A and B are shown apart, each in its own frame.
Chain A
Amino acid sequence: MSGLTFTARRRLRSAPLYVIVWAIGVVMVTPLLYAVVSGFKTTDQLSDNAFGPPSPWVVSNYTDILASGSFWRMLASSTLIAIGTTLLTVGAAALAAFALARFAFRGRELLFTLFTAGLMFPFAVAILPLFILLRTFGLLDNPWGVILPQAAFGLPMTLVVLRGFFREIPAEVEEAATLDGCSPFGFFWRILLPMARPALGTVCVLAVVGSWNNFLLPLLVFSEPGWWTIPVGVQQFQGQYAADIARVFAYLVLAMIPALGFYAVAERQLIGGITMGATKG
Chain B
Amino acid sequence: MKTTPTRISDESPVSGPAGGPVEGPPRTFENRRPLAQRVRDWCTAFAFTVPALVLFGLFVLMPILYALYVSFFNWGGFGAPSDFTGADNYVRLLGDPVFLGDLWRGLLLVLMSVGVQLPFALAMAVLLNQKLRGRAFYRMLFFAPYVLSEVITGVLFSMIFSPDDGLADKVLGAIGLDHVGGLWFADQDWVLPTLFLVMMWKYFGFHMMLYLAGLQSVPDELHEAARIDGAGPWQRFRHITLPLLGPTIRISVFLSVIGAIQLFDLVWVVTQGGPDHHSETMAVTLFQFGFRRYQIGYASAISIAMFLISLVFALLYQRYVLRRDTEGAITTMRGAR
**Residues on A facing B (Cβ under 8 Å):** 14, 17-18, 20-21, 24-25, 27-31, 34-35, 46-47, 50-51, 88, 91-93, 95-96, 98-116, 118, 120-133, 148-149, 151-153, 155, 159, 167-168, 170-171, 174-175, 184, 188, 209, 212-216, 220, 230-232, 234-235, 238, 245, 248-249, 252, 255-256, 259-260, 262-263, 267, 270-271, 274-275, 278-279, 281
Contacts and interface: CB of A to CB of B under 8 A. Distances in A.
Interface stretch (B91-99, B188-196, B218-226, B305-313): B305-313
Contacts of A120: 258, 310-311, 314
Contacts of A30: 167
Nearest to A216: B264
Interface string B309-337: 01100100000000000000100010000
Interface residue tally on B, bucketed by range: 35 or more
B130 A17 contact: yes
Given A122-B283, A260-B144, A91 B51 contact: yes
B26 A148 contact: no
A47 B142 CA distance: 29
A34 B160 contact: yes
A125 B6 contact: no
Given A125-B307, A153-B59, A279-B333, A259 B22 contact: no
A259 B147 contact: yes
Interface of B: 1-2, 4-9, 21-27, 30, 38, 41-42, 44-49, 51-53, 55-56, 58-60, 62-64, 66-67, 70, 77, 124, 127-128, 130, 132-133, 135, 138, 140-145, 147-152, 155-160, 162, 165, 167, 170, 174, 201, 206, 209-210, 213-214, 247-248, 251-252, 255, 258, 261-262, 264-265, 268-269, 282-283, 286-287, 290-291, 296, 299-300, 303-304, 306-307, 310-311, 314, 329, 333
A235 B128 contact: no
Nearest to A104: B24
Contacts of A110: 6
Contacts of A35: 156
B141 A29 contact: yes
Contact of A279 (B21, B150, B159, B251): B251
15 contacts: A21-B127, A96-B52, A102-B25, A105-B9, A111-B49, A116-B2, A128-B290, A129-B63, A175-B25, A184-B48, A232-B151, A234-B149, A259-B152, A278-B252, A279-B247
